[in-house]
């Protein structure tokens, strides 16, 4: 499928590494002008270099900002007042015994994983609907549906994203703008590598370690391996394209069959 996003501007939040970086690279490869967001100038510069190495003719914009804060999000919107494609991929995660999760941690996960996406959607959606075309995506997780016992605060935040996505899709009804959530399954990112090492024998070679992690901690996966970030990015690029014009208000699964359900 030849996806052509020439003439479109995309903002991918939290895309200095992992899934976000893969999505930004995929959108650039499809011809979009991509605003690359991270918290620091150094992290954004590294991401820009990575994308340029993969896509030499990429059209990129450096967009450093802490979008998890009101001031950071407002500053970014001032610098980049209009986008055609918004991919809310910023997120934090980590294992924590449920009874030890503090009020501050609950607030942090909601602030970073949910409210940051809400703020930017609120800022950019009116412009999209006014122009009659746009794409908004929320990168959710299998943890939204199959809440992991070791990080229920993370699962809560991803469940909230499914509700937020469906609600904003209703707000954009009939405007030519689509709003969707992507349910990403267990994915091979630097953060997940660290997480896997916390839960299985750190002396195991990586291939064995990830398979042991999947066998013990994610046994319901039908893929039986971690998903590569590029596999998530393929779905995000498709949802950003004209080919996905009739897909809105959906929770689209790229979870390797992790969620034991025919529908989300």
Indicate if the alpha-carbon torsion angle 57, 7, 229, 77 is positive or negative: positive
Residues 6+ apart with CB under 8 A from 239: 135, 137, 178, 180, 182, 247, 252
In angstroms, rounded to a whole number, what is the distance separating the alpha carbons of residues 49 and 53?
Answer: 6
Distance between CA atoms of residues 210 and 200, nearest Å = 9
Q: What is the DSSP string of 17-61?
A: SHHHHHHHHHHHHTT-EEEEEESSHHHHHHHHHHHHHH-TT-EEE
3-state secondary structure of 96: coil
Handedness of CA 37, 38, 39, 41 (dihedral sign): negative
Unique residue bearing structure tokens 């897909």: 247
Distance CA 67, CA 121 (A): 12
Order of all β-strands in the sheet with 33-38: 59-64, 33-38, 9-12, 85-88, 134-141, 177-184, 251-254
Return the active site residues: 154
Structure tokens at 111: 């602030």
Contact 119, 233 (CB under 8 A): no
The two tokens of residue 210 are 């990830």
**Which of 188, 191, 199 is CA-nearest to residue 221?**
188
């Amino acid at each position: 499928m030849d996806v052509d996003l020439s003439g479109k501007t995309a903002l991918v939040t939290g895309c200095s590494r992992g899934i976000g970086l893969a999505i930004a690279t995929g959108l650039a490869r499809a011809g979009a002008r991509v605003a690359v967001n991270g918290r620091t100038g150094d992290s954004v510069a590294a991401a820009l270099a990575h994308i340029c190495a993969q896509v030499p003719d990429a059209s990129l914009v450096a967009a450093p900002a802490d979008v998890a804060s009101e001031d950071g999000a407002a500053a970014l919107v001032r610098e980049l007042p209009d986008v055609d494609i918004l991919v809310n991929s910023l997120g934090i995660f980590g294992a924590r015994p449920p009874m030890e999760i503090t009020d501050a941690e609950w607030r942090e996960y909601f602030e970073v994983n949910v409210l940051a996406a809400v703020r930017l959607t609120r800022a950019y959606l009116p412009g999209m609907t006014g122009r009659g075309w746009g794409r908004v995506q929320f990168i959710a997780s299998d943890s939204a549906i199959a809440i992991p016992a070791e990080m229920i605060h993370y699962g809560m935040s991803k469940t909230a994203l499914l509700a937020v996505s469906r609600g904003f899709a209703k707000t954009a009804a009939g405007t030519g703008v689509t709003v969707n959530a992507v349910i990403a399954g267990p994915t091979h990112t630097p953060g997940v590598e660290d997480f896997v090492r916390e839960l299985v024998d750190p002396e195991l070679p990586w291939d064995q370690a990830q398979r042991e992690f999947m066998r013990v901690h994610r046994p319901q996966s039908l893929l039986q391996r971690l998903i590569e970030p590029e596999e998530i990015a393929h779905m995000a690029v498709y949802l950003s394209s004209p080919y996905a014009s009739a897909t809105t208000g959906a929770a689209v699964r790229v979870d390797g069959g992790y969620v034991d359900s025919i529908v989300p």
